Structure 1
Amino acid sequence: MGFFTDTSVCIGCKACEVACKEWNGVPADGLDLLGLSFDNTGQLDANSWRHVAFIEQAKPDGDMRWLMASDVCKHCTDAACLDVCPTGSLMRTEFDTVIVQADICNGCGYCVSACPYGVIDRREGDGRAWKCTLCYDRIGDGLMPACATACPTESIQYGPLDELRERAQARLEALDEPQARLYGHDPADGVGGQGAFFLLLDEPEVYGLPPAPVATTRDLPQMWKRAGLAALTMAAAVAVSFMGRRK
């Protein structure tokens, strides 16, 4: 299960942000416009599990274009945060989503640096890692996530990923936007496909998204293999040296 966010119909109402906070008991961000249009959250963090970005673009004809997009944890197939967690706090659910079990998080922060999207954050005064759970408690009861339920334009769509990918492809083909593209829908990408993907109207960098994200732990097996071979070589060299000294 996952999210398809169609940014072409996002109106920036922030209903998803509010619904997420209310349902999950996420602390308020306060009224801070940050000098970035109407964006009072700025980015995803421990207290913002949904972030509605407001982007102003000047067109060649002098007009302005607003790009709005509700960002969220990507629930990666190849989840680096999951790989580095030493306590098992990060867990993949039966819905193939990734959640943090706060009761066993030790606040080490390994997951924070491992996330290629900068999604995970530790809460000030708490120390533990927090992020979107895709409303694990709601979907377990057959309900939609709070953000998708609250979205008035159906910009945020929830359902089986295969169905969402087909729907997204059809929407892209029907949309008369030369710069429109799907982001994170391809299982062959650097994170094995995102559990939350997007239809964007411009390049990913415009929305603050990495253009070619890669699971930061993808080379770990090869690194461990090389480390093991190096250790064996060193042990063999020590043994040969020891035997030489005995002779």
Structure 2
Amino acid sequence: MLPSLEARLACRNGMASTTAGVANGFVQGNLAILPEKLAAAFHRFCQLNPKPCPIIGMSDVGDPRIPTLGEDLDIRTDLPRYRIWRDGEVIDEPTDIKKYWRDDLVAFVLGCSFSFEEALLAEGLPIKHIQRQVRVPMYRTNIACGSAGPFAGPMVVSMRPFKPADAIRAVQITTRFPAVHGAPVHLGHPHLIGIKDIAKPDYGDPVPVEDDEIPVFWACGVTPQAVIAAAKLPFAMTHAPGLMLVTDLQNKQLAVL
């Protein structure tokens, strides 16, 4: 059995912890589930914002399976935790969404930075949130996304601190992975992108930035959640930040040489 399928089955059986470092080598994905009437506009939003919202898979209308992403994959049960949104507010964070599933829903899976973390680790670059076994810190920024229909709002970024020489190497490595956010969107000086306190992330958990380190920020697939909140959509479902879908795609398949 593939480690990716084992991870999905663990989620199906109640695992509800971060998937950072789980099923190494396999692509993980962010999730956004929307009614069919909004799917075309969201697809356009992703096309306009490929850095935070790179689509790696979509379901057919009403179908919880996405065969291109994995065998025996059920989008309703195979993530550790979900978020249910009504009118832009989170009303529930269940470990499966069977009771919320409808025949008019379309699931979008977006590339996740956990995929390029494998390449960073392979080069010996330390990743603090993995070392500390916490969720990656994520922040809403003042970087505006391109809008499509009701979808408009700020880009969300994830942050990893590195020493300057390692930060340069991290840029070089992640540039090879455009399907999972690619190169960073900002380095250093959080206030320049609207982050007031780096010790207080909007999503995930804080990690310290030492005096000899700089924060490096990548576009993040949690961006749709900020946009769903801003648009006050009547109904949507997403993953809980940091608790992703593990697919059967391999990270090395996404590298651009």
Structure having the higher Rg:
1
Pick 1 or 2: higher relative contact order, CA cutoff 8 A, min separation 6.
2
TM-score tier by shorter-chain length is under 0.3
Q: Normalized per residue, which structure has more strand?
A: 2
Q: Normalized per residue, which structure has more helix?
A: 1
Q: TM-score, normalised by structure 1?
A: 0.24
